[in-house]
A and B are shown apart, each in its own frame.
Chain A
Amino acid sequence: DSGVTQTPKHLITATGQRVTLRCSPRSGDLSVYWYQQSLDQGLQFLIQYYNGEERAKGNILERFSAQQFPDLHSELNLSSLELGDSALYFCASSEQGYTIYFGEGSWLTVV
């Protein structure tokens, strides 16, 4: 158990819909990351937050947004979903400058 908690574990939704993925980082970790794993793109970095502020942005679509709340949990919002958004979405956390630990992921299927 990495200590990073993600919900939901599985989600099936229709095209055009909006979903929210939630992440609780390990106790004490200020950095939260979101990654997407798909068959064609592999593991891709989406976005990083540090103590509530956006720190780095990767290949995140404009239809996707994220935030980190004062209690350090984070949410990834995916809107206007397309079939190609079906993927495993990982949240990860780290103490600044140290190892990045991943949650178990949220499996998103868009039908």
Chain B
Amino acid sequence: AQKVTQAQTEISVVEKEDVTLDCVYETRDTTYYLFWYKQPPSGELVFLIRRNSFDEQNEISGRYSWNFQKSTSSFNFTITASQVVDSAVYFCALSEASNFGNEKLTFGTGTRLTIIP
């Protein structure tokens, strides 16, 4: 069975600080996908990134970066120079790719990030 663990329930940082959100996953599959979603106070789930298990290159998108380490089954998310608009709940999720067409997501419990102005 798949499992995603986000051990940090809540994080508060002062604006402009860097912050890293941790994500650890468990799966028996060799092929899988990892995701991060953002849920702002308005409630919608916003897609941030999708990474497949064969691509361990780190990715950077503006102030966001992701560190995928298969050896430790982790897919951590760093926000550099945080801003108040980054305040949200962030979810890490895992999708199996072993059965093509069955891409249901297993979510972690989320990390509530508060950026203090």
Question: Which residues of A pack against B, CB within 8 Å?
Answer: 2, 31, 33, 35, 42-43, 45, 48, 50, 55-56, 58, 88, 90, 92, 94, 96-105, 107
Contacts and interface: CB of A to CB of B under 8 A. Distances in A.
Interface of B: 35, 37, 42-47, 50, 91, 95, 97, 100-107, 109-110
A92 B100 CA distance: 17
Contacts of A33: 104-105
Main secondary structure of the interface of B (DSSP, over half): loop
A42 B95 CA distance: 17
User: Does more than half of chain A's interface fall in helix, strand or loop, or is it mixed?
Assistant: strand
B43 A105 contact: yes
Contact of B50 (A35, A99, A105): A99
A95 B102 CA distance: 11
Contact of A102 (B37, B50, B100): B37
12 contacts: A31-B101, A31-B103, A35-B105, A43-B107, A50-B101, A94-B103, A96-B101, A97-B101, A98-B50, A99-B47, A105-B45, A107-B43
